[in-house]
């Protein structure tokens, strides 16, 4: 089987021609030009240099995402155009799995990191399976704050190797927060390579992972910046009303091992000491937060964001508005507790001016975990 592999999911652009026995050619650039300028000339060059007749290509492998919105669209358009013109099937490979294939044969956990901007990375966790000569997926690819990735790696307690352009963006955080033995992929294996894409694609093809050019759709994981900006304009942040209670209680139950009941939230509506804010995005409850005021002091008791919109500024918007409400009541000190292992939340609170003041042993149950005490002074 002969594959033409195309990747433009990140800053690098890469193309390769490979058979199951050898990589015939690979062309990778990591320079200033856009993929729309480089990708087709690169493909033309490797085809010319290897004297490959495109009619002899059996399939076109393409990185399916996640990645740069513009890059993925250029890669998808190129692969779909070639597939339709040549009447060849496509093999769609998850980008993070393709990156993990750079380190096939290594031990421990493999953690690709792609800079997704907005303080997030695209990632997944993998391990090389020597018996099947394939990459086992430990955690499906997702878009999350880098602190959350590190927390997950630390919980596994195994050595890990990081790779991808997210390493460049978050190297200091990785070095500071990773508590297990960790390694960084060497220079020549740190970014996307079409040869790795081809190697991974042969496995997908063997399992019947072929599709027509018309069927292929990139996997973005997140909405585009334009879509996010439109949704942010449509966000409605306000006090909780009786109509919100059932949804708030349901979201609470989904995310906490000892959730407050709907009756408890309903009781807060008439309690002047509590401020409960909700943020709605279109028809969806995006998140909520609760403040208990006592003179010049206040406790932030509940903060929750719906899974589909995590990392999109919902918690920041809620907490900023909540403390503005507190200031209107002359609150001078804010307190909260957070699970010690919730690195993403701790990083967010620090960004909002909170300082860690102590540890409360075994405060949380199911699972049992210490609480980190945090405080902010106005």
Write the pLDDT tens digit of every residue in 206-219: 999 999 999 999 99
Write the pLDDT tens digit of every residue in 2-11: 999 999 999 9
Higher pLDDT pick, 205 / 256: 205
Mean pLDDT score of the chain: 93
**How sure is the predictor about 112, in pLDDT bands with cuts at 50, 70 and 90?**
very high
Write the pLDDT tens digit of every residue in 46-96: 999 999 999 999 999 999 999 998 899 999 999 999 999 999 999 999 999
Cα separation of 176 and 186, whole Å?
20
Q: Tell me the mean pLDDT in the region 306-315.
A: 86
The string of DSSP codes covering 68-129 is -HHHHHHHHHHHHHHHHHHT--EEEEEHHHHHHGGGTT--SEEEEEEEEETTEEEEEEEEEE
Cα separation of 39 and 33, whole Å?
10
**The pLDDT of residue 226 is above 70:** no
- Residue 190 β-bridge partners: none
**The pLDDT of residue 232 is above 70:** no
Contacts of 297 (CB under 8 A, 6+ apart): 331, 332, 333, 334, 335
Contacts of 276 (CB under 8 A, 6+ apart): 239, 240, 248, 265, 268, 269, 288, 289, 290, 291
Answer for the pair 329, 365: CB distance below 8 angstroms, yes or no.
no
Write the pLDDT tens digit of every residue in 324-360: 999 999 999 999 999 998 888 998 999 999 999 999 9
Q: Tell me the mean pLDDT in the region 23-31.
A: 95
Hey, CA dihedral for 354, 356, 361, 362, is it positive or negative?
A: positive
Give how far Cα 124 sits from Cα of 99, 112, 268, Å.
10, 6, 40
Edge-first strand listing for the sheet containing 182-184: 134-145, 120-129, 109-117, 160-163, 182-184
Provide the percentage of residues in the chain whose pLDDT is more than 90: 84
Answer for the pair 374, 337: CB distance below 8 angstroms, yes or no.
yes
**Three-state DSSP class for residue 61:** strand
**The pLDDT of residue 223 is above 80:** no
**Which residues belong to the active site?**
337, 349
Write down the pLDDT at residue 313: 86
**The pLDDT of residue 12 is above 80:** yes
Cα separation of 222 and 312, whole Å?
9
Please list the alpha-helical segments (H only) found in the chain: 35-49, 69-86, 95-100, 146-156, 165-177, 194-206, 225-234, 245-255, 262-268, 314-328, 343-351
Write down the pLDDT at residue 153: 95
Write the pLDDT tens digit of every residue in 239-260: 999 999 999 999 999 888 889 9
* CA 157 from centroid of its chain's CA atoms: 21
**How sure is the predictor about 365, in pLDDT bands with cuts at 50, 70 and 90?**
confident
Write the pLDDT tens digit of every residue in 126-149: 999 999 999 999 999 999 999 999
Structure tokens at 332: 């001078």
Q: Tell me the mean pLDDT in the region 16-32.
A: 95
Q: CA angle 180-181-186, nearest 5°? A: 135
Write down the pLDDT at residue 257: 84
Hey, CA dihedral for 248, 254, 260, 263, is it positive or negative?
A: positive
Cα separation of 323 and 291, whole Å?
8
Write down the pLDDT at residue 40: 94
Write the pLDDT tens digit of every residue in 163-183: 999 999 999 999 999 999 999
């Amino acid at each position: 089987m002969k594959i033409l592999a195309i990747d433009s999911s990140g800053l690098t652009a890469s193309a390769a021609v490979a058979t199951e026995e050898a990589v015939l050619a690979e062309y990778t650039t990591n320079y200033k030009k856009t993929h729309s300028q480089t990708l087709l000339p690169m493909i033309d060059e490797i085809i010319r240099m290897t004297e490959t007749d495109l009619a002899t290509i059996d399939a076109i492998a393409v990185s399916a995402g996640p990645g740069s919105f513009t890059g993925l669209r250029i890669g998808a358009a190129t692969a779909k155009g070639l597939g339709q013109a040549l009447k060849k099937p496509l093999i769609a490979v998850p980008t993070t799995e393709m990156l993990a294939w750079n380190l096939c044969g290594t031990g421990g956990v493999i953690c690709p990191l792609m800079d997704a901007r907005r303080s997030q990375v695209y990632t997944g966790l993998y391990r090389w399976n020597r018996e099947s000569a394939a990459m086992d997926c430990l955690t499906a690819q997702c878009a999350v704050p880098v602190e959350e990735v590190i927390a997950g790696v630390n919980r596994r307690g195994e050595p890990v190797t990081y790779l991808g352009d997210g390493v460049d963006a978050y190297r200091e955080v990785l070095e500071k927060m990773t508590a297990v033995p960790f390694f960084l992929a060497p220079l020549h294996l740190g970014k996307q390579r079409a040869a790795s894409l081809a190697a991974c694609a042969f496995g997908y093809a063997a399992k019947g992972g072929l599709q027509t050019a018309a069927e292929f759709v990139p996997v973005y994981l997140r909405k585009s910046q334009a879509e996010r900006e439109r949704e942010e304009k449509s966000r409605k942040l306000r006090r909780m009303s009786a109509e919100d209670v059932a949804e708030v209680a349901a979201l609470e139950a989904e995310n906490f091992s000892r959730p407050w009941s709907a009756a408890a939230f309903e009781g807060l509506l008439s309690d002047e000491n509590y401020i409960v804010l909700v943020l709605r995005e279109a028809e969806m409850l995006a998140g909520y937060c609760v403040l208990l005021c006592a003179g010049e002091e206040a406790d932030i008791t509940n903060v929750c964001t719906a899974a589909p919109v995590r990392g999109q500024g919902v918690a920041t918007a809620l907490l900023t508005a909540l403390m503005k409400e507190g200031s209107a009541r002359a609150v001078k000190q804010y307190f909260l507790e957070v699970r010690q292992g919730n690195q993403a939340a701790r990083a967010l609170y620090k960004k909002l001016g909170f300082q860690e003041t102590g540890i409360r042993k075994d405060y949380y149950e199911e699972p049992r975990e210490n609480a980190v005490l945090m405080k902010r002074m106005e």
